[in-house]
Structure 1
Amino acid sequence: MNNNQVMAECSASTDDSKICKRTKVRWIVAGLMWAAIAINFLDRTTLAIATPHIMQDLHVTTEEMGILMSAFFLCYALLQIPAGFVSDKLGQRKVLGLSVLWWSIATGLTGIATGFKSLMGLRMILGVGEAGAYPSNAAITRKWFPKSERATVGGLFDSGQKFGGAFGVPILTWMMLSVGWRETFAVLGGLGIAWAIAWWLFFKDDPAEHKGVNKLELEYIRDGEMDEKDKTMPLKWWQLLRYRNVIAMCIGFFMINYNSYFFITWLPMYLMKDRGLSFSQMGFAASLPLLFGAIVEILAGYLSDRVHSSGRMSLTKTRKLFLCIGLVMAAFIGFAAVSESLAVALVLLCISKSGTVVAASQVWAIPSEIAPRNMTGVVAGIQNCVSNFGGVVGPVVTGFIVGYTGHFEFALLFSAFLLLIAIFNFIFVLGKIEPIKIDK
């Protein structure tokens, strides 16, 4: 039944025009998804901000702090696929709610850590819990939003990470100076627990079961797609690696994250070491790329959905166009490396970060568009698992290059080179964007 038919039925059955208007419960769900990612980013970043206090109070060495940082990302990356599998099997109401509750308790308990060993255990627990966020959000995108809105939603929820960096980091810094680092962890833990309660009370895995979703919105969400009653998975998760689109997504997102993680790891040091900024000046300058990226990602997702919905381009051409535009922009990081002007370099870095999120808005829409039935979370988990190793490898390689050369120029040029490879990957390796056809 299409929307016109539903409207006709509605008009014939009631004179109340309010009942006949399409509800917008899905956008409340999108807001909760955004908030989960924002909390996700804040909770993983708080340790970095509190590093000077923790090293002094708990007598943690620099080497041990490096291990603590890596422990989170290793657990986070390795648990992506299991988290996606469990999300698809048990539903996102349980899995995302439990994930946020899990990592929020770990965050809150960090405030009572007594040394390296307790911090290590809590960081690993945090990584396990946070692994459920992105795969669950990708699965929710497929269940709760029509094809015409999926890139918009992918860009929206992923932008929570950038908003968390642009606005949350200064707030967390102020909190630590005002009430202390231990109390800051406790406040963040309480924030996540409050979110989990709201999620369990409001969200339903099937929009048809939500009392606030009327018939018009349900038909709009499904957009001609049948609701799958069979919840079995048509193949094992590792068999997905036989398909070129899954391979292309993993390769491309790995290189995107290689570049993207520079902005949340080495950018502050780059601005102080190569550009001569003071600590206070660096704080403002480092937030600019994240702020621009947060805004651009939402706009990119919305615009790509509008381009596809207009009928001017197929879904495949739309996704590839925006991926390539984003990656070309991201490669501007290479020009920033050789620019002599600080102002020009900052503009180029803002363009580069904005480019990575233009690409990310498409990357987070694709799992819901190619996954076999009941496997969106698994596909997203595979993609995010591989891509986060780009986040693990990137800071290490950058550190090695900077240590060898004494500056960041060649490190940034290498990042730009990888982005050019990613462009060719998405043009020639990524195939038609359509549900994977299972080999009999």
Structure 2
Amino acid sequence: MRKVSGLRWWMVGLIFLATVINYVDRQTVAVLKKSISDDLGLSNPEYAAVQNAFLIAYAASQMLSGRLYDAVGTRIGFTISIVVWSIAAVAHAAARSMTSFAFWRSVLGLGEAGNWPGAAKSIAEWFPPKERALGMGIFNTGAAVGGALSPPLIALLASYWGWRPTFIITGGLGLGWLVLWLFLYRLPAEHPWLREEERAYILEGQREAARSRGARGEAWHPGWIELLRYRQVWAVVVGRFLTDPIWWLYVFWLPSYFQEARGFSLAQVGWSAWFPFLAAGLGALTGGWASGHLIARGWSADRARKTVMAAGALLLPAGILAMRAESPYVALAWMGVVLFGFQVWINNVQTLPSDFFPGSAVASVAGLGGTAAAVASVLYNWNTGRVVGAMGYTPVFVIAGVLGPLGLAAVFLLAGRIQRVVIKG
């Protein structure tokens, strides 16, 4: 059997591609908000309710998906997730009312949520600790690339075929990815294409199995209540609760902000709204590279992660400057700073579960964090629809600018030193 050099990078490349598709599928509604709202008669609060149907299901599925991936493994878990979300994405085209549209939006959320705990688990399986932040950065870049591709791609498809066929085309992308996934993905211990020297390198420093064995040699599979006994889990949960609404605000409302507050056409949104998401992609790579680089230079994981998280979180108030900018393109640039900083921040926050816990619990911890993030985002998005209708966009973007430093303070206070925890009991 022919061996492949650098196979772990091919594996994270697959996760990257899935994340691109994930974001194209979820961004379709945001880019086409005006066309869909005109066709289905949606107000801003009703649009927020439709997006909340996605987020509520996404929140529930984050926890359930984490447990699912820990139970059935990454290969089968991703298969289930992408089949569900691809079918749901295509089915949006058949919606004829707010109710049916919101239903398929919720099914999309159920499927798409699995991408994040599954990716965190896959990175923990395929990368040694010193490279995990970079691995997380590469896969997180998929969110930014998907966000950047969505405005021009979706605007182009909709201009030719309308919004309903656009959902069918974008929804079919995931089923094509599934063929590659089933053909290529295996665990490092059993992959026939993996060179022995790379297998040894991957396993170097991975002592999760030894640390997570009980008296009978069984892996540690904690329940949610048991996990919540650890302050490190609360660091992930509270940090994401406070800061993830920032990302979802820009994902759901940035295109409509430029159409409604800055007077952009759909075509203008298509050729300009990609920029903040491109900046986010650079942030994801920068955040992953920076902490790994600092660790390689001899910094502790604690010092490296905290330094990079602080650098990212302290850029998030730039959204306040975007609201004060007279030029829409200056506002767009400041929003790029926000999303760059957010991805630097979140990339390292999402690495914390594998810094703190053995591999058998990583997806569950990531799922709890994702659930907290989605619950907070539901609450923020619900209020955004009402505030925008009554007061415009400025208040929601200004408040989002304050959340980054608050989240940073919460993580620093709750996490303590970033290192492997001692399992209780």
Q: TM-score, normalised by structure 1?
A: 0.87
Show the counterpart of 1:84.
66
Show the counterpart of 1:220.
201
Q: Is it true that 1:370 corresponds to 2:356 in the alignment?
A: yes
Q: Within 2, Cα distance between the matches of 1:119 and 1:403?
A: 21
> Displacement of 1:305 after TM fit?
0.4
Show the counterpart of 1:187.
169
> Displacement of 1:214 after TM fit?
1.2
Q: Within 2, Cα distance between the matches of 1:279 and 1:180?
A: 12
Q: Within 2, Cα distance between the matches of 1:436 and 1:302?
A: 24
> Displacement of 1:402 after TM fit?
4.2
Show the counterpart of 1:271.
258
> Displacement of 1:46 after TM fit?
1.9
Q: 1:21-420, aligned counterparts within 5 Å?
A: 23-55=5-37, 59-62=40-43, 64-204=46-186, 206-226=187-207, 228=209, 232-275=219-262, 277=264, 279-311=266-298, 313-404=299-390, 406-420=391-405
> Displacement of 1:141 after TM fit?
0.7
Q: Are the aligned partners of 1:234 and 1:372 in contact in 2 as well (CA < 8 Å)?
A: no
Q: Within 2, Cα distance between the matches of 1:272 and 1:184?
A: 20
TM-align CA RMSD: 2.4
Query: Over alpha carbons, which structure has the higher Rg?
Result: 1
Q: Within 1, Cα distance between the matches of 2:357 and 2:99?
A: 40
Name the SS of the counterpart of 1:242 in structure 2.
Answer: coil
> Displacement of 1:270 after TM fit?
3.5
> Displacement of 1:275 after TM fit?
4.4
> Displacement of 1:326 after TM fit?
0.2
> Displacement of 1:287 after TM fit?
2.0
Return 5+ residue gaps in structure 2 as ranges: none
**Cα distance change of structure 1 residues 361 and 111 upon mapping to structure 2, 3 Å threshold:** same
> Displacement of 1:235 after TM fit?
2.4
Q: Read off the aligned partner of 1:207 and give its amino acid letter.
A: P
Q: Are the aligned partners of 2:27 and 2:252 in contact in 1 as well (CA < 8 Å)?
A: no
> Displacement of 1:304 after TM fit?
1.5
Q: Read off the aligned partner of 1:327 and give its amino acid letter.
A: A
More displaced 10-residue stretch of structure 1: 233-242 or 86-95: 233-242
Q: Read off the aligned partner of 1:353 and give its amino acid letter.
A: L
> Displacement of 1:288 after TM fit?
1.4
Q: Within 2, Cα distance between the matches of 1:53 and 1:281?
A: 15
**Cα distance change of structure 1 residues 266 and 126 upon mapping to structure 2, 3 Å threshold:** closer
CA deviations 1:92-129 (Å, max 9, x no partner) are 10011121112112222333344444433322222111
CA deviations 1:119-161 (Å, max 9, x no partner) are 3332222211112110010000100011121111111111111
**Cα distance change of structure 1 residues 282 and 54 upon mapping to structure 2, 3 Å threshold:** closer
